Chains A and B, each alone.
Chain A
């Protein structure tokens, strides 16, 4: 996904302004003229300087690249599906891990990802179940990480 330097520069300008705005409310250290806002302000000023250089050099340069290009994956349904599974599958752990539980969620995401990569169904089921349960056992039993069982709580071991 290609984003032109002028668009990136504009985004950085907005971002840096937001940092400056938020940092303006930070207090100073008693007895000093500086405080919690110092580093964020330096970062924001640096970002503004870089943003201006990126915008100007992109506008002056020729040929001028397009504002943004998504890449050919966006027009390929299979690759789009794969990216969707990676992003949404990972994001699904945030609201649903406690409710559904790690084993069911991980088997589902892994199975979907494997199938989108054209792995045959039997191998995909075998890999997703084995890997999910192995990782779950390793982290919950060896490292004592409380990975939630969710709907499978009744058969938790």
Chain B
């Protein structure tokens, strides 16, 4: 209880509240611009958080992402272009409402659902994470090794497209994490005599390059950059939302729970939460045929899911130090820079800070209810902000942000190189998120593996002889082998069926 009171005092600090407000407005703006994602908002914000205390730094990330995920609904409803991938699931419903002159109502449903989902997720985070942390106190390096493996494996399996390409992306991230002095052996790896590379590849320029530079390159290659036109609308933002909530209480509750659970799964983010929740709402609906035609059920379910997942991803991130998505990977990197190692110990040694981080989720979501109104009212102008003026400024911000981390142009070089690599990867179906997770989790994976091997004296049984370690290890091995076994069985069955079809006696 004392921790909670101290946490209130920390969050109530005017400078923290000011940062939350500023980051919220920034998140709303970035999320509302088509093509700029919540991850990009975080990437652009991180150079600023470098100069803040830990709490305002994390509060800035939490609030900007919560706002950006909601604001992604705005261009979705106005232009049928989801501002962030998390809004893609219900973009047709929102746009159909806009065509009927109900843009504000559609966005109001998204706003209220987002706030509801965000608050439910924050409650689960605040109550569930400390329990899990108690449990995680018993973990040794072996459990952390398996958790890191599990997180990385899930990021590959859940990533869109080919799992092989997801694995390549992860391996590239792990390789990047090995560059620099090896902490265990004290030997420089892949530095080729460069002093700059001795400290490793700084993850902030890497992330700015992979998320922001890729977008700028894609923009530079695009044929046209037209300013979009928005259909006229004259509905109310808050009008009728109470009735909508009562009508959709099942969808809101289910969406919020699905969102939080999907968020906890490593690798699954708010976009997957929204798609799963939308599909579930359609399955349980009495009028599934109305989905996609401007119906509020899918909007409420998926809108609550994508914001509640934002709290869910913080559970493994804070309790185990395993980020569930790109944003928490960035946030964990920020915490590391501030000298804070996420894990069960922070709940004991930094309890005030941990609870203060939880409180920022409540503050951000309540603030969203009010700021969201103004964002919706001003949406018409925001979505029409010419990208040809914004993108060059974002490029400059990326350059300065990369420089600011080490006060050296080496950061700009990292940003540029990884921006080009990230662009080529995305263009050819290689997801970027596993690479970022690899860069962040790589050192933790290696440290825990080396410590475990030394403790077990090289005996593999040492990785399975504790109950939790054995379970996590078995799950991880199953995740690796089941797709291979099912592929082999399918291939054998296909060959068998073909052979039978060609057999003249049959």
Contacts and interface: CB of A to CB of B under 8 A. Distances in A.
B492 interface: no
B416 interface: yes
Contacts of A72: 223
A94 B409 contact: yes
Interface string A86-126: 11011101110110001000100110011001110001000
A10 interface: no
Interface in A39-94: 39-40, 42-43, 46-47, 50, 53-54, 57, 71-73, 76, 79, 82-83, 85-87, 89-91, 93-94
A109 B407 contact: no
A43 B175 contact: yes
A9 to B, nearest CB: 9
A95 B168 CA distance: 32
Nearest to B407: A146
Interface string B215-227: 0110011110100
B171 A43 contact: yes
Given A146-B407, A147-B403, A135 B396 contact: yes
A47 B168 contact: yes
Contacts of A76: 223
Contacts of B221: 71, 73, 79, 82-83
Interface residues of A, number: 70
B167 to A, nearest CB: 6
B174 A39 contact: yes
Contacts of A22: 189-190
A42 B213 CA distance: 29
Contacts of A12: 168
B412 interface: yes
Centre residue among A43, A110, A127, A142 by max chain B CB count within 10 A = A43
Contacts of B465: none
A34 interface: yes
B220 A79 contact: yes
Given A32-B453, A86-B220, A145-B407, A27 B175 contact: no
B442 A39 contact: yes
A2 B220 CA distance: 16
Interface string A11-46: 010000001001100111100111110111011001
Interface in B380-423: 388-389, 391-393, 395-400, 403-404, 407, 409, 412-413, 415-416, 420, 423
B308 to A, nearest CB: 34
Contacts of B184: 29, 35-36
A143 B51 contact: yes
A152 interface: no
Nearest to A35: B185
Contact of A143 (B396, B404, B409, B415): B404
Given A110-B396, A131-B393, A47 B171 contact: yes
B388 A118 contact: yes
A109 B454 CA distance: 53
B404 A139 contact: yes
Contact of B48 (A23, A42, A83, A143): A143
B178 interface: yes
Given A47-B168, A90-B416, A26 B189 contact: yes
Contact of A32 (B399, B416, B458): B458
Contact of B427 (A1, A28, A94, A123): A1
B392 A110 contact: yes
B161 to A, nearest CB: 12
Contacts of B213: 90
B400 A139 contact: yes
A135 B400 contact: yes
A3 interface: yes
A57 B163 CA distance: 13
Contacts of B392: 110, 113-114, 117, 127-128, 131
Contacts of B185: 26-29, 35-36
Contact of B428 (A3, A109, A146): A3
Interface string B172-196: 0011001000101101011000000
Nearest to A47: B171
28 contacts: A1-B423, A3-B428, A27-B185, A28-B185, A34-B453, A36-B187, A38-B446, A39-B442, A40-B189, A43-B175, A47-B168, A50-B167, A50-B171, A76-B223, A82-B220, A82-B221, A85-B220, A86-B216, A87-B420, A93-B409, A94-B409, A114-B389, A131-B392, A131-B396, A143-B51, A145-B400, A146-B407, A147-B403
Given A34-B453, A90-B395, 7 more contacts: A1-B428, A3-B427, A40-B189, A43-B178, A97-B412, A139-B404, A143-B50
